[in-house]
Amino acid sequence: MPAGIAAAQEADDLGLTIEVIGTPAEEVGNAGGKILLLERGAFAGIHAAMLVHPTPMPFDAIGEGTLAVAVFDVH
C-alpha cells in the first residue's frame, strides 16, 4: 500500500491513474489470486503493473531464497 500511495502522489502531475488491487488467496491452490483477477478482467485496460510484498523493517531472514529476480530501471 505505501508503494501505491507514493506513486499516486506523482500520478496527477504525470497524467496517470493509480489503482491499488489486493491479491486474494495469493499462495493457495493451483490458481493464485493474480491469475483469478486476470481471468476475471481486473487488469483490463492496465498498462503496467507492480507487485510489492511489504515487509516490516528491520527485516532479518536466514536462508531466504529467491526463485527468480529481474532488475531494471524505468525512466
The domain of 15 spans 1-75
Q: Which is more confident, 49 or 68? A: 49
- pTM beyond cutoff 0.85: no
Q: What is the grid cell recorded at 64?
A: 531466504
pLDDT of residue 47: 81
Within 13 Å and on the Cβ side, how many CA atoms surround 73? 1
pLDDT of residue 35: 78
Domain count, the chain: 1
> Which position has the grid cell 493451483?
30
pLDDT of residue 25: 62
Report whether pLDDT(27) > 70.
no
Report whether pLDDT(57) > 70.
no
* Neighbouring residues of 32: CB distance < 8 A, sequence distance ≥ 6: 23, 25, 26
Report whether pLDDT(23) > 80.
no
Round to whole Å and give the CA distance between 64 and 1.
23
The answer to whether residues 54 and 1 touch, using CB atoms and an 8 Å cutoff, is yes
